[in-house]
């Protein structure tokens, strides 16, 4: 029984380590993305928030097919919020209406309700899928004019990104209050809101630790190309040298001696 318990404990420990590596954090982690309306990979290491059910409408129905997920980061100066909205039918007001209309929030857009210290002084910051302008009211702390934003739009989705200045330096352990809302516009002009206008308190965590990239495989060594065989050219016979003449000298001397001996024999 003890062996079985130890085995189960070891399995649970391994599973917890695996989960810790792959799961997102439950805190807003420290990291600085590029604010361009694109969900950077660094966001996926921090906390992600699914927006809730519809809670408000300017029409007669709360029906909507819009869903949204918000990804959060912070650094010393800003809170970063990147909201990915999925909507089968994205309708947009004219830019003139967004820039000067009475109710520019009656549009497809993302709204952030900020109450950094959770004191009840909410600021509303809004931005549409075409990043026409950042606007919002109330704005008791003047955050709207200091906020940076960007957006990108597809056929059935759009992404809105904010960099909201912090009133106090962002550090690990700091708390921050805000909530998220997405408005879905319909052809008759009414909007349905999902999410919430009631800020919740979040905690800042440590820095993002990105996974190390896998090393690129080393290229296989190339086999050397076969070299063509060189044609063999026969060399001409070497000219006589001093050594070959020295070998012939004894034969010549012998022939000369034999000739002299023959001549002596012939004399009377």
pLDDT tens-digit map of 151-192: 999 999 999 999 999 999 999 999 999 999 999 999 999 999
Does position 202 have pLDDT exceeding 80, yes or no?
Answer: yes
Tell me the C-alpha distance between 133 and 32, whole Å. 23
Q: Are 72 and 92 in contact (CB under 8 A)?
A: no
- Tabulate helix, strand, coil % of the chain (nearest 5): 20, 30, 50
Paired strand residues for 207: 30
Pick from 191, 170, 186, 40: nearest CA to 110: 191
Q: Quick one: pLDDT at residue 249?
A: 46
Tokens of 254: 């012998």
Q: How confident is the model at residue 225 (pLDDT cuts 50, 70, 90)?
A: low
Of residues 2 and 78, more confidently modeled = 78
Count the neighbouring beta carbons within 10 Å of the beta carbon of residue 170: 17
Residue with the larger pLDDT of the pair 110 and 226: 110
pLDDT band (50, 70, 90) for residue 235 = low
Of 87, 72, 82, 99, nearest in space to 160 by CA? 82
Q: Is 114 helix (H, G, I), strand (E, B) or coil?
A: strand
Q: How many CB atoms lie within 10 A of CB 146?
A: 13
18-28 residue pLDDT tens: 333 333 578 99
Instruction: With CA atoms as reference, report the closest residue to 151 among 85, 78, 65.
Output: 85
Residues near 114 by Cβ (< 8 Å), separated by ≥ 6? 122, 123, 124, 125, 143, 164, 177, 178, 199
Length, in residues, of the chain: 268
Least confident of 100-109, 116-125, 205-214, 250-259: 250-259
DSSP string, 58-84: SSS------EEEEEEEE-SSEEEEEEE
Domains of the chain and any CATH numbers: 24-207 (2.60.40.1190)
Which range, of 5-9, 43-47, 92-96, averages the lowest pLDDT? 5-9
């Amino acid at each position: 029984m003890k062996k079985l318990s130890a085995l189960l404990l070891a399995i649970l420990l391994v599973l917890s380590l695996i989960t810790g590596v792959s799961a997102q954090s439950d805190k807003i982690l420290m990291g600085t993305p590029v604010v361009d309306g694109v969900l950077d990979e660094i966001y996926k290491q921090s906390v992600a928030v699914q927006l809730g059910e519809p809670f408000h409408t300017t029409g007669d129905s709360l029906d909507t097919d819009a869903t949204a997920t918000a990804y959060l980061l912070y650094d010393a100066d800003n809170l970063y919020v990147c909201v990915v909205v999925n909507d089968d039918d994205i309708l947009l007001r004219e830019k003139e209406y967004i820039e000067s209309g009475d109710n520019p929030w009656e549009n497809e857009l993302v709204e952030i309700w900020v109450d950094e210290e959770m004191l009840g002084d909410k600021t509303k910051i809004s931005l549409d899928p075409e990043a026409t302008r950042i606007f919002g009211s109330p704005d008791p702390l003047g955050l709207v004019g200091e906020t940076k934003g960007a957006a990108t739009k597809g056929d059935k989705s759009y992404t809105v990104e904010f960099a909201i200045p912090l009133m106090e330096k962002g550090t690990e352990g700091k708390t921050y209050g805000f909530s998220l809302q997405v408005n879905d516009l319909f052809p008759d002009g009414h909007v349905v809101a999902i999410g919430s206008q009631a800020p919740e308190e979040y905690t800042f965590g440590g820095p993002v630790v990105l996974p190390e990239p896998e090393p690129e495989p080393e290229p296989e060594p190339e086999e050397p190309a076969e070299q063509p065989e060189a044609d063999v050219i026969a060399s001409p016979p070497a000219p006589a040298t001093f050594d070959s003449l020295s070998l012939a000298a004894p034969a010549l001397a012998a022939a000369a001696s034999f000739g002299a001996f023959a001549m002596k024999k012939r004399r009377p």
